[in-house]
Amino acid sequence: MRTLLFFLAVLTAALASTGAAGAGNPHDTPLPGPPPTFQDQHNAGTVREISVMQVPKGGIGTWPGEAGSNHGAAGGVSANGDCGACINTCWYASGATSGPSDWSGYAHLNGWLSWCGNGSWVTYAAGGEYPTSSGWYSISYHNGAWWSGGCIGCGQIQMQDYMIWSWTAPLWGFVNSGTTWLTQTGYAWGGYST
């Protein structure tokens, strides 16, 4: 019985010292900033009108080699078809980002989109999305952008992409991860959203 009581006393003392150590060692190095929230932050970037001469085929139809098979209705859409005297206009959006960013670095999906429309439907589209990271963030998987909605000949066209990122604190061994999405939509009248 004394052996059992002695064992319980030693076990209680060991657990008490472990609890005190878990409360924080004053000699541990603190994080250089507040704990990251890992929340995605979004930036829609900027949109500017460009000349139809700055895009292939003058902004009408799809362009081979730019995911043309995923644009929906195949190329050759007339700029004026059922629209009467509509004028074809083109836009370029750049600087769109999505992903976590804080004092320890960032993991971003970056995107650009170029599209043309006549006010009724999209007549041309090309775009891309790519990941970048710095600091304690890294990209563990990137899918690659695809056309996810609308089409050439529709009122809008949409591009989407996602990545899986991880965050590793170098001295503490703590690891976190998450998924970030970026969706860009261009509208036939020049509107743009992310």
Return the pLDDT at 67: 43
In 3D, which of 186, 194, 193 has the Cα closest to residue 89? 186
Average the pLDDT over 126-138 and give the result. Answer: 95
- Which of 3-7, 131-135, 155-159 is predicted least confidently? 3-7
Give the whole-angstrom CA distance, residue 169 versus residue 174.
5
Stronger pLDDT, 77 or 182, i.e. the higher one:
182
In 3D, which of 78, 68, 183, 73 has the Cα closest to residue 125? 68
Judged against a pLDDT cut of 90, whether residue 98 lies above it is answered with: yes
Q: How confident is the model at residue 126 (pLDDT cuts 50, 70, 90)?
A: very high
Mean model confidence pLDDT for the chain? 78
Give the whole-angstrom CA distance, residue 60 versus residue 75.
8
Judged against a pLDDT cut of 90, whether residue 113 lies above it is answered with: yes
Q: How confident is the model at residue 54 (pLDDT cuts 50, 70, 90)?
A: confident
Judged against a pLDDT cut of 80, whether residue 82 lies above it is answered with: no
Residue partners of 104: CB distance under 8 A and separation at least 6? 32, 33, 36, 135, 136, 137, 167, 169
Residue partners of 18: CB distance under 8 A and separation at least 6? none
Q: How confident is the model at residue 1 (pLDDT cuts 50, 70, 90)?
A: low
Give the whole-angstrom CA distance, residue 64 versus residue 56.
10
Q: Is 98 helix (H, G, I), strand (E, B) or coil?
A: strand
Give the whole-angstrom CA distance, residue 12 versus residue 29.
29
Residue-wise pLDDT tens digits, 140-193: 999 889 999 999 999 999 999 999 999 998 887 789 999 999 999 999 999 999
Q: Is residue 29 left, alpha or beta, with left meaning phi > 0 and alpha meaning psi from -120 to 50?
A: beta
